[in-house]
């Protein structure tokens, strides 16, 4: 059956409504890059009004670094609430609940100028960070459980497409010629309210995850009704319900966090998720996104417009990943991404080392930055966010997604804090550290990651179930428990 036949208006609307959350996150990732100096000046001016003196340079730099990285710290804290929300309120309702944090965060950030308080901006970014940590786990959870197997990976990649598009829109909005000015920067910070309110209007009319309704709640009639809306075909609904019931027969009702980390069947998937996520986050991509304007400023007059190029390449290659995800598969895209990132980091070290001798190499440096970003978005970027949802069964999936979120945001937070001092200590050789991480992730993925493309959740879970001596079903029929 062709993948196109699985697509219904309800399914597409539900996925697009959900990914409005990652659009907001991308927007607030990209919009602080270019107008950083203007917002720093607001910090300084506020301090001068209060204390009749300018803030010392080192304090200003520290405060600005805190403002940028506190979003990632908030996301790290937010990750802790994923399991509770997803299991207690359902996947769709949880996304709606946490969307309120985005509204509050955006209102606080934009109110900082009127209230003449940089503390309000920092608290706003912390609240928005809580939203980031929750929604970047809840989104893939809902998308994976609501999508048909043939479209699962492609639709999960849409979350990253939306995130990358948000970064680009944020970068454009932050330009001096658009809204990144002394007068308009507070309004710029409030624009994420538009997708937040759109999500509140559309998502309540979308169905809940059928897997959640059947396996978690035992509400078969509601699960069937939700599936009917998402699939539009009674035959497909019957086949999918049968597959869900077989998965339910293999799973226990719930898993505590302690059981999750102690169960032999979860051990290998946990290690895979750990390596893929840390490999993605610590291979240099985030350092380039966070500090791209300052990196380019050293060599180019129009650094802000080159940074826009970073955003455009980002979006382009998430779209390439979207179209390749169900053709090439997760493993091939991850391997291609990691080895390309390692190569780019090696070449960047060489180019940076001889830049003072051959100034013409600065164009090659920009090209390498673009290549590294495209390699990241081709595989490690999108796949690191959703691979956990495919490797774990229904009880373990929410904790696995919380774990994913903690690793992703923790890696981002760590890199945002460590990259500037590492750059001072190691100089251009900092890229060799990123290269080593990417190579280790490549080797591990090659040896240990099973391909999940086109396979049911139960079929994937079967690979790891043998670790507990549980009877395995074969490839054609299922062995349900009696």
pLDDT digit string, tens, across residues 68-85 = 889 989 999 999 999 999
pLDDT reported for residue 102 = 97
C-alpha span between 210 and 222 (Å, rounded)? 8
C-alpha span between 208 and 6 (Å, rounded)? 18
pLDDT reported for residue 461 = 86
Whether pTM exceeds 0.85: yes
pLDDT reported for residue 161 = 97
Provide, rounded to the nearest whole percent, the portion of the chain with pLDDT above 90: 67
Residue 292: pLDDT band (50, 70, 90) is low
> Which residues have a Cβ under 8 Å from the Cβ of 61 and sit 6 or more positions away?
none
pLDDT reported for residue 458 = 87
C-alpha span between 330 and 452 (Å, rounded)? 7
C-alpha span between 405 and 73 (Å, rounded)? 11
Least confident segment among 214-223, 256-265, 288-297, 393-402: 288-297
Least confident segment among 42-51, 271-280, 318-327, 333-342: 42-51
Q: For residues 417-439, give the mean pLDDT.
A: 88
CB 378 within 8 A of CB 336: yes
C-alpha span between 442 and 446 (Å, rounded)? 6
pLDDT reported for residue 32 = 82
Residue 176: pLDDT band (50, 70, 90) is confident
pLDDT reported for residue 468 = 56
CB 97 within 8 A of CB 131: no
Q: Closest Cα partner for 203 from 394, 20, 353, 452?
A: 20
Q: For residues 474-480, give the mean pLDDT.
A: 34
How would you write the chain as a 3-class SS string? Answer: CCHHHHCCHHHHHHHHHHCHHHHHHHHHHHCCCCCHHHHHHHHHHHHHHHHCCCCCHHHHHHHHHHHHHHHHHHHHHHHHHHHHHHHHHCHHHHHHHHHHHHHHHHHHHHHCCCCCCHHHHHHHHHHHHHHHHHHHHHHHHHHHHHCCHHHHHHHHHHHHHHHHHHHHHHHHHCCCCCCCCCCCHHHHHHCCHHHHHHHHHHHHHCCCCHHHHHHHCCCHHHHHHHHHHHHCCHHHHHHHHHHHHHHHHHCCCCCCHHHHHHCHHHHHHHHHHHHHHHHHHCCCHHHHHHHHHHHHHCCCCCHHHHHHHHHHHHHHHHHHHHHHHHHHCHHHHHHHHHHHHHHHHHHHHHHHHCCCCCHHHHHHHHHHHHHHHHHHHHCHHHHHHHHHHHHCCCCCHHHHHHHHHHHHHHHHHHHHHHHHHHHHHHHHHHHHHHHHHHHHHHHHHHHHCCCCCCCCHHHHHHHHHHHHCCCCCCCCCCCCCC
Residue 300: pLDDT band (50, 70, 90) is low
Counting every residue written for the chain, the total comes to 482
Least confident segment among 168-177, 262-271, 281-290, 376-385: 281-290
| Residues 125-145 pLDDT 10s | 999 999 999 999 999 999 999
Q: For residues 398-413, give the mean pLDDT.
A: 93
Residue 96 pLDDT > 70: yes
C-alpha span between 278 and 280 (Å, rounded)? 5
Provide, rounded to the nearest whole percent, the portion of the chain with pLDDT above 70: 93
Residue 478: pLDDT band (50, 70, 90) is very low
Least confident segment among 294-298, 300-304, 374-378, 476-480: 476-480
Residue 1 pLDDT > 60: no
Residue 66: pLDDT band (50, 70, 90) is confident
C-alpha span between 79 and 135 (Å, rounded)? 9
CB 409 within 8 A of CB 79: yes
Least confident segment among 276-285, 336-345, 421-430: 421-430
Mean pLDDT of the chain: 89
Q: Closest Cα partner for 285 from 156, 435, 74, 93?
A: 435
């Amino acid at each position: 059956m062709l993948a196109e036949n699985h697509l219904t208006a309800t399914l597409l609307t539900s996925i697009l409504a959900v990914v409005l959350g990652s659009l907001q996150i991308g927007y607030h990732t990209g919009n602080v890059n270019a107008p950083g100096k203007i917002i720093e000046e607001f910090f300084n001016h506020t301090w001068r009004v209060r204390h009749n003196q300018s803030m010392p340079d080192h304090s200003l730099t520290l405060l600005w670094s805190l403002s940028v990285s506190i979003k990632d710290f908030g996301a790290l804290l937010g990750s802790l609430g994923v399991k509770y929300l997803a299991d207690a309120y359902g996947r769709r309702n949880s996304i709606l609940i946490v969307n309120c944090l985005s509204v509050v965060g955006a209102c606080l950030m934009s109110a900082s100028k009127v209230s003449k308080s940089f503390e309000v901006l920092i608290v706003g970014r912390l609240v928005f960070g809580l939203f980031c940590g929750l929604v970047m786990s809840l989104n893939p959870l809902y998308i994976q459980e609501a999508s048909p197997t043939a479209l699962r990976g492609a639709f999960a990649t849409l979350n990253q497409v939306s995130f990358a598009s948000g970064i680009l829109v944020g970068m454009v909005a932050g330009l001096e010629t658009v809204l990144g000015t002394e007068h308009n920067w507070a309004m710029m910070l409030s624009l994420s309210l538009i997708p937040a309110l759109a999500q509140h209007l559309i998502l309540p009319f979308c169905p809940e995850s059928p897997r959640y309704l059947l396996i978690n709640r035992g509400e078969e009639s509601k699960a069937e009704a939700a599936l009917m809306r998402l699939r539009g075909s009674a035959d497909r609904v019957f086949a999918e319900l049968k597959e869900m019931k077989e998965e339910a027969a293999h799973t226990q009702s719930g898993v505590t966090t302690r059981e999750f980390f102690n169960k032999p069947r979860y051990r290998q998937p946990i290690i895979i998720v750990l390596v893929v996520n840390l490999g993605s986050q610590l291979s240099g991509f985030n350092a380039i996104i966070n500090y791209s304007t300052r990196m380019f400023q050293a060599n180019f007059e129009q650094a802000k417009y080159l940074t826009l190029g970073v955003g455009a390449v980002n979006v382009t290659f998430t779209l390439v990943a979207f179209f390749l995800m169900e053709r090439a598969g997760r493993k091939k895209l991850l391997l291609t991404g990691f080895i390309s990132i390692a190569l780019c980091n090696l070449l960047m070290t060489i180019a940076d080392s001889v830049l003072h001798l051959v100034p013409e190499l600065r164009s090659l440096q920009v090209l390498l930055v673009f290549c590294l970003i495209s390699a990241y978005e081709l595989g490690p970027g999108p796949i690191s966010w959703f691979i956990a949802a495919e490797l774990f069964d229904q009880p373990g999936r929410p904790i696995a997604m919380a774990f994913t979120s903690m690793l992703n945001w923790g890696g981002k937070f760590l890199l945002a804090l460590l990259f500037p001092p590492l750059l001072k200590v190691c100089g251009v050789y900092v890229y060799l550290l990123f290269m080593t991480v990417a190579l280790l992730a490549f080797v591990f993925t090659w040896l240990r990651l099973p391909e999940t493309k086109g396979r049911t959740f139960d079929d994937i879970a079967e690979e790891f179930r043998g670790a507990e001596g549980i009877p395995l079903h074969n490839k054609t029929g299922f062995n349900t428990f009696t």
